Amino acid sequence: MEIINTPLNDCFIVKPRIFKDSRGIFFESYNQKLFREKTGLNIDFVQDNQSVSAKGVLRGLHFQSGEMAQAKLVRVIQGKVLDIVVDIRKESSTFGQSFSLILDAEAHLQLFIPKGFAHGFITLSEESIFAYKCDNFYDSESEGGIIYNDATLNLDWHLPEEEFIISEKDKNLPSFKELMNL
């Protein structure tokens, strides 16, 4: 397992060691001991989630706050997505900055997203299966979000907006400035 720093504090790309032969491939998708040794973080994942999405489905930008904030380790099992994170920790030197990464079933890269980040993704392939580990349980009372087309963040989702498939809930999220009281 290789840990690659991103431009955002505490957010890492996790690159597994992949073994290929005539039978196919094998890789260890997560190893708590190695993750702790390489990042210094002792994460105890307690919930796994999975979604299946058609091309153009945009989910996010979501987060949980307070005691129910979640760190996540995300990956694509099938297909390809553009994954975007935004640092919403006001005390962070990378506050308000975003990072995006294409995750797909070919490269098997994963993204570790620390607590205090908003997260979203859009499916770029015909279908995607997206999986993520969380270090805290989902709590609807702690849920928040930022509108996908926020003018301050100016995120590039890699598809034309007319191709987006977005839930009504996600279409009505507040702007970054509203959320952060800026």
If you average pLDDT over residues 82-90, what whole number do you get? Answer: 97
3-state SS string for 130-173 = EEEEECCCCCHHHEEECCCCCCCCCCCCCCCHHHCECCHHHHCC
pLDDT in tens, 61-83: 999 999 999 999 999 999 999 99
Catalytic residues: 62, 132
Do the Cβ atoms of 113 and 88 come closer than 8 Å?
no
pLDDT at residue 176 greater than cutoff 90: yes
- Go through the domains of the chain in sequence order and give each one's CATH number: 44-180 (2.60.120.10)
Predicted pLDDT of residue 91: 95
Integer angstrom CA distances of residue 146 from 5, 17, 73, 125, 129: 24, 34, 20, 24, 23
Q: What CA–CA distance (Å, rounded) separates 116 from 107?
A: 27
pLDDT in tens, 104-146: 999 999 999 999 999 999 999 999 999 999 999 999 999 999 9
pLDDT in tens, 17-73: 999 999 999 999 999 999 999 999 999 999 999 999 999 999 999 999 999 999 999
Predicted pLDDT of residue 181: 86
Q: What CA–CA distance (Å, rounded) separates 90 from 55?
A: 33
Q: What CA–CA distance (Å, rounded) separates 61 from 75?
A: 16
